[in-house]
Structure 1
C-alpha cells in the first residue's frame, strides 16, 4: 500500500480509529504486546515507534517512557498525531516526524540513536535499520502477516537472540454486519465496506467468516523480540 492510501484513510476515518462494536475471546497477541511493552518502556532512554500512524498508541505509551519519537510515511496521519499531541498539554516527551523506510536516503536518524524500537503492525522494513539501534538495543514488534519476510529481514539485518511467538487463539466477534463493516473499513488496504457499492463484497466477507453461527475472525498475530549485538 502506498502513501496515498494511508492519506486517504486518515481523511476518511480520521486515522485508524474505529467505532465498531465487538468482543475478543481467547489469548490476544495485541493485549500481550501492549502489556510487555508497558513493562519494557521505563528501562529505555530513547524509544522509536516505527510506523506510528495517527499517534494514538504512541501517546498512550508516553506515560511509561522517557522519550518517544514516532515516524510515519503519511503526512495526513501525522497531522492527526500532531494535533492530538497539541491537545494533550501534559505530554512533553513525544515527537512525531515524517520518514519512510524505503526512501533512497534512508531513515533520518543517527547511528545508535535508540535503545528500543517498537513496531505495532508497522513496516517490517524497519528490520533493515539495525544501525539506528545502540549495541544491546532491542526491537519489539507485532504483525498480522509477512512472517517469512520478517524472519528474512531480521536475519539479514544482523539481529541476534531472535524470538518469534505465534498467537492464534484469539477471535474477534461482531453483533451484526454493520459493526463488522465498520471494523473491516478501518483495516489498511480495505475498501469502505459501509457504502452501498461494496455491499456484495461485504456479504462475501460475511459468508467467509461465520464461526459457529457468529460473524467473526481469527486474530492471528506474531510477536518479535530481537537484539543488536
Structure 2
C-alpha cells in the first residue's frame, strides 16, 4: 500500500472543485460529466431530485444554478416556459448555448456576487451540485411562493475508499462540514424555512479503472497516466479482494434542499 503513487503530490495537481479546476475540466472535456462507470442503488438522491424538478418546471421560468454544460437543463426545455442556466466556467456555457434551444439561455456568472437578475424574475429554481453561494441571493430573484430545490454531495459520499486507497482518497471529514456550510448559507440567505433531507444509498464501481477515474477526475491526462503506470497493479488487487458481484461498494450520499420562498 505504501508504494502506491499519491497524485496530489504531483506539481500539476489542481485542487478539485476550485475555479481553476472547473476551468481546466472545461478546457479538457467541455462538459461536467463523470467518466467512471458505476451502478447506484435506488432510491437515491439523484433520482429523487430529478423527479422533483420534473414536477416543478412545466410552464415555468426556471433558473439552473451551476448548470455545467447544460445537459440536465436542456431536458426540461420541451416543458419549461424558459430556462436560464448559470455557471462560472465559460467552456461549459458555450456547450449549453451550442444546443440552440429557443427557450434556453446559458450565462457565465460568478454566484459569489449579486446575481444578475431582477427581483422575482424566476418562478422557481434548482441547484444540482452547484455553488451554495447562490443561496445568498436566491430569495430575491424567485417569486414569492416559488420553489427552490437543491442537491449536494453528502459528507459521507465515497466513504470507504480512503481506507482501501489512502493515497488516492481523503478520509471522510470529522463531523459534517458540508451540511454545516449548507445550513449556514441558507440561513444567511434568509431561507430559514429550508428542509434538508439526507438520502443515503450504495454505489458500485464496476472495474478497477473506475477507482482511478474517480480519484483524478478533472486532472490533466499525465496525472491519470502516472497513476496507471505506478499503481494500477496494486489498485486491481485491492479492488478484486473487496468487490462483490456488483462491483466495489461505496457510500452514495446526497443532501436534498427544499424551500418555498
Would the TM-score normalized by the shorter structure come out above 0.5? yes
Q: Which residue of 2 aligns with 1:144?
A: 153
User: Once the 2 structures are TM-superposed, how far is the Cα of residue 193 of structure 1 from its aligned partner?
Assistant: 9.1
Equivalent of 1:8, from 18, 21, 24?
Answer: 24
Report whether the alignment pairs 1:95 with 2:105: yes
Q: How does 1:169-184 map to 2 (within 5 A)?
A: 170-184=201-215
Q: 5+ unaligned residues in a row in structure 2: which ranges?
A: 1-16, 155-177
Equivalent of 1:34, from 50, 58, 61?
Answer: 50
Report the secondary structure of 1:37's partner residue.
helix
Structure index of larger Rg? 2
Q: Which residue of 1 aligns with 2:87?
A: 72
User: Once the 2 structures are TM-superposed, how far is the Cα of residue 215 of structure 1 from its aligned partner?
Assistant: 2.1
TM-score, normalised on structure 2? 0.73
Report whether the alignment pairs 1:159 with 2:198: no
Change in Cα spacing, 1:81 to 1:184, as seen in structure 2 (3 Å) is farther
Report whether the alignment pairs 1:123 with 2:131: yes
User: Once the 2 structures are TM-superposed, how far is the Cα of residue 124 of structure 1 from its aligned partner?
Assistant: 0.7
The 10-residue stretch of structure 1 (14-23 or 94-103) with the greater mean CA deviation from structure 2? 14-23
When you count strand as a share of all residues, which structure comes out higher? 1
Aligned residue pair count: 217
Q: Is the 8 A contact 2:212 2:224 kept in 1?
A: no
CA distance in 1, matches of 2:208, 2:181: 33
CA distance in 2, matches of 1:205, 1:218: 20
Report the secondary structure of 1:57's partner residue.
helix
Q: Which residue of 2 aligns with 1:20?
A: 36
Q: Is the 8 A contact 1:184 1:193 kept in 2?
A: no
Q: 5+ unaligned residues in a row in structure 1: which ranges?
A: none
Q: Which residue of 1 aligns with 2:158?
A: none
Equivalent of 1:63, from 78, 96, 110?
Answer: 78
Report the secondary structure of 1:220's partner residue.
strand
User: Once the 2 structures are TM-superposed, how far is the Cα of residue 14 of structure 1 from its aligned partner?
Assistant: 3.1
CA distance in 1, matches of 2:199, 2:221: 28
CA distance in 1, matches of 2:37, 2:227: 20
CA RMSD of aligned residues (A): 2.8
Change in Cα spacing, 1:110 to 1:216, as seen in structure 2 (3 Å) is same
Q: Is the 8 A contact 1:206 1:215 kept in 2?
A: no
Report the secondary structure of 1:219's partner residue.
strand
Change in Cα spacing, 1:23 to 1:158, as seen in structure 2 (3 Å) is same
CA distance in 2, matches of 1:63, 1:54: 18
Equivalent of 2:141, from 126, 132, 146?
Answer: 132
TM-score, normalised on structure 1? 0.82
Residues 29-75 of structure 1: per-residue CA shift (max 9 Å, x gap): 10110011101111x53210001011111112222311110011011
